[in-house]
Amino acid sequence: MLLRKRFHAALTELTDQPDEYAGMIRVAADAKFGDYQSNACMPLGKKTGQSPRDVATKLVESLKIEDLCQTPEVAGPGFINLKLRDEFLSNTIADMLGDDRVGVGVTPNPEKIVIDYSSPNVAKPMHVGHIRSTVIGNALAETFRFVGHHVITDNHLGDWGTQFGIIIYGYKHFGDPDVVAANPVPELASLYRLTNQLIEYQKAKASLPKLSEKLAEAESNAKEEAAAAEAVEKDEKASNKEKKKARKSAESAQRRIESVQSDIASTQAKIADVDNDPKLSALSAEHEDVPAAVLRETAKLHEGDAENRELWEKFLPHCKDEINRIYDRLGVTFDHTLGESFYHDRLPGVVEMLDGLGLTTKSDGAVCVFLDGFDSPMIIQKRDGAYLYATTDLATLQYRHEVFECDRILYVVDSRQSEHFEKFFAMAGPLGMDNIELVHVSFGTVLGKDGRPMKTRSGSLIGLESLLDDAVARAKDVVCNPERLANMSPPMGEDEQNQIAEVVGMGAIKYADLSHHRTSDYRFDVDKMVALEGNTATYMQYSYARTQSILRRVAEEQNIDDIEDWVIKNVTADEIQLREPAERALAIALIRFEEAIEGAIGAYTPNQLCDYLFDTAKSYSTFNDACRVLGNTDPVILKTRLALVVVAGRVIKQGLRLLGIGVCDRM
């Protein structure tokens, strides 16, 4: 941001940490005080032992911002209030108008960045948990690429793990080769489900005693907490804060009981599903050994057993077809899909290399690396010779270092894997790869509408595809209902409606995910996601469609063929005159586009871009209500407003595109 750069220059005279203080510029909370405000002088004054107001006065003296702002004002304890010059706003809007990149600069320091995202374990159907990595990773890839970094996307498929042991076992025992050959994708999925159900059944039965113990524990704990809370309640000396704290603990102990009860209910449901089905219960009796047997099938695959290898080669393409169907729908692509199997042959080399560097220790027969600052070691080979997830990640890092020669790698992976990544990143130094910046872009969980993990009654995860279908169907109800369709001219045919429903449905799911800070959990609520009002993709898409509809009507009114092109060619900076507050507010929102992108990139937080788009769409809506575009005879007013409409449309469209979300010309 230009203002920040100017502050930076002036701050170098006052401190040796200009970066820190230059960042303290915010959009003013109240337009009365100006457009932006710097809060830098309070901490800076404190640090240098001067009065913040004096620091502010000094800073204002050395600031060179006459071309951007009116004379800055020092206010209150030492705020600096800034009001942008109208000419600066008009010039910037005019520049954005004529710029394909809508005013977003290209980075002066392009880096080679590998983004490891989506990376599902294939062979089992994709579920809602897979959406986060896919959607966040894709948005980051688009955004980093847009600002000029060299982005390499890599889908690190789990194509070598136990899931394959599961379908191999299923195929060998329950599969009919002809049926599978005729209809591989659904057949393999159902073999996976059946085998997995038998495994889960065994596990569920084995876990019941533990769960009852847990319940008893939770109940006695809740009793204690409740008694303690009652005692505090009666205690006259206890403060309100203490009472509240005790009440909270008692409530949370109560909730813990409910959560264990719900685990027990779903475990019992899992067991009942098999017990109540004669065919399943017969199978389960016959295959009591299934959990261990699938592990043996997986081990055989890894050891190069010819039959299992052949089956794996036969099944993998079908598993890929299955996930590619989802990627196609989401409009997500990858430069590389180098799954875990790709690195299999390199794993012995990883262990050798670590041995050679003297980093390994044998512990209980397993090969381990003990790391400073960690209680437990990183295991890289089990005593039975099997390699681990971490071993593969080390081989992958080596490959990316040598072949991609990257500067940075982003791992867009669930926060439950934090410990794995912390340990794994700590290995980069000893391996001589600490010139690569390694980042775990972690994220929280997708919860159901009720705030609980999203599962079916018996605890299996809900398939991703059915959720996508559901979102599209609801999108159609919201956007193409009879009432809205009646107002469409020309009428909207079935094809167009379906196309819009798909764009709105996919956008809704993606935006709902991206608009939450990635580290927090969020509730998957389709009705909220597709709503036309609020911080939703639908609202943003609708705002975009409104810009296009206005442009179409003006084109008709003025008899102009390509209205956007006409505006770009015919509106000059001095014709953009922001007289109405709503015009000015919209212009300020629009010129902040680059700033929003910088924020989203800086902390790997696409939600910052979502917040920005929401603010911008709201400013656009206020402008739309207050400032007529159609039927204006004053050419300056018309041109000013047309320029704002065009730039608003392009900012929203481009912003959504960076989030992986499409738009429609009308809806």
Residues that bind ligand ARG (CB under 6 A): 116, 119-121, 156, 158, 393, 396, 411, 413
Please say which residue, 413 or 468, places its beta carbon nearer to ligand ARG. Answer: 413
Beta carbon of residue 438, minimum distance to ligand ARG (angstroms, whole number): 11
The percent helix, strand, coil of the chain (3-state, each to 5) is: 60, 10, 30
- Secondary structure of 210-232 as H, E, C letters: HHHHHHHHHHHHHHHHHHHHHHH
Amino acid, res. 411? Y
Exposed/middle/buried for 417, CB within 10 Å: 0-12, 13-18, 19+?
middle
Please say which residue, 167 or 648, places its beta carbon nearer to ligand ARG. Answer: 167
Exposed/middle/buried for 213, CB within 10 Å: 0-12, 13-18, 19+?
exposed
Beta carbon of residue 458, minimum distance to ligand ARG (angstroms, whole number): 22
- Total length of the chain: 667
Please say which residue, 332 or 637, places its beta carbon nearer to ligand ARG. Answer: 332
- Secondary structure of 265-307 as H, E, C letters: HHHHHHHHHHHCCHHHHHHHHHCCCHHHHHHHHHHHHHHCCHH
Please say which residue, 406 or 472, places its beta carbon nearer to ligand ARG. Answer: 406
Beta carbon of residue 120, minimum distance to ligand ARG (angstroms, whole number): 6
E strands, 386-461, in order: 408-414, 437-443, 446-447
Beta carbon of residue 389, minimum distance to ligand ARG (angstroms, whole number): 7
Between the alpha carbon of residue 328 and those of residues 146, 270, 289, 325, the distances in Å are 21, 33, 39, 5
Beta carbon of residue 336, minimum distance to ligand ARG (angstroms, whole number): 12
Q: Which two tokens stand for residue 447?
A: 């919860």
Please say which residue, 96 or 413, places its beta carbon nearer to ligand ARG. Answer: 413
Please say which residue, 102 or 413, places its beta carbon nearer to ligand ARG. Answer: 413
Beta carbon of residue 161, minimum distance to ligand ARG (angstroms, whole number): 8
Amino acid, res. 531? A
Between β-strands 360-363 and 366-369, what pairing exists: parallel, antiparallel or unpaired? antiparallel
Beta carbon of residue 369, minimum distance to ligand ARG (angstroms, whole number): 17
Please say which residue, 392 or 624, places its beta carbon nearer to ligand ARG. Answer: 392
Beta carbon of residue 156, minimum distance to ligand ARG (angstroms, whole number): 4
Which residue is it, tokens 């989401």?
Answer: 330
Amino acid, res. 295? L
606 CB neighbour count, 10 Å cutoff: 29
- Secondary structure of 10-51 as H, E, C letters: HHCCCCCCHHHHHCCEEECCCHHHCCEEECCHHHHHHHHCCC
Q: Which two tokens stand for residue 431?
A: 């391996």
Residue 512 has φ and ψ, to the nearest 5°, of -60, -40
Please say which residue, 152 or 617, places its beta carbon nearer to ligand ARG. Answer: 152
Amino acid, res. 538? T
Beta carbon of residue 199, minimum distance to ligand ARG (angstroms, whole number): 18
Please say which residue, 118 or 308, places its beta carbon nearer to ligand ARG. Answer: 118
Please say which residue, 104 or 157, places its beta carbon nearer to ligand ARG. Answer: 157
Give dist(CA 565, CA 97) in Å, integer.
Answer: 10
Helices 581-591 & 593-602, crossing angle to 10 degrees? 40
Give dist(CA 73, CA 80) in Å, integer.
Answer: 6
Give dist(CA 568, CA 639) in Å, integer.
Answer: 10
Closest Cα to residue 345, out of 283, 300, 303, 406? 303
Beta carbon of residue 158, minimum distance to ligand ARG (angstroms, whole number): 3
629 CB neighbour count, 10 Å cutoff: 20
Please say which residue, 340 or 583, places its beta carbon nearer to ligand ARG. Answer: 340
CB 407 within 8 A of CB 111: yes
Output the residue with the shortest Cβ distance to ligand ARG.
158
Beta carbon of residue 454, minimum distance to ligand ARG (angstroms, whole number): 17
Beta carbon of residue 453, minimum distance to ligand ARG (angstroms, whole number): 16
Alpha-carbon Rg for the chain in angstroms: 30
Please say which residue, 404 or 411, places its beta carbon nearer to ligand ARG. Answer: 411
Exposed/middle/buried for 481, CB within 10 Å: 0-12, 13-18, 19+?
exposed
Beta carbon of residue 411, minimum distance to ligand ARG (angstroms, whole number): 6
Query: What spatial distance separates the first Cα and last Cα of the chain, rounded to whole Å?
Result: 34
Please say which residue, 443 or 542, places its beta carbon nearer to ligand ARG. Answer: 443
Beta carbon of residue 121, minimum distance to ligand ARG (angstroms, whole number): 5
Please say which residue, 90 or 392, places its beta carbon nearer to ligand ARG. Answer: 392
| Chain CA centroid to CA 294, Å | 34
Beta carbon of residue 114, minimum distance to ligand ARG (angstroms, whole number): 10
Please say which residue, 21 or 117, places its beta carbon nearer to ligand ARG. Answer: 117
Beta carbon of residue 118, minimum distance to ligand ARG (angstroms, whole number): 9
Give dist(CA 246, CA 229) in Å, integer.
Answer: 5
Please say which residue, 90 or 391, places its beta carbon nearer to ligand ARG. Answer: 391
Give dist(CA 358, CA 440) in Å, integer.
Answer: 27
Residue 335's SS3 state is coil
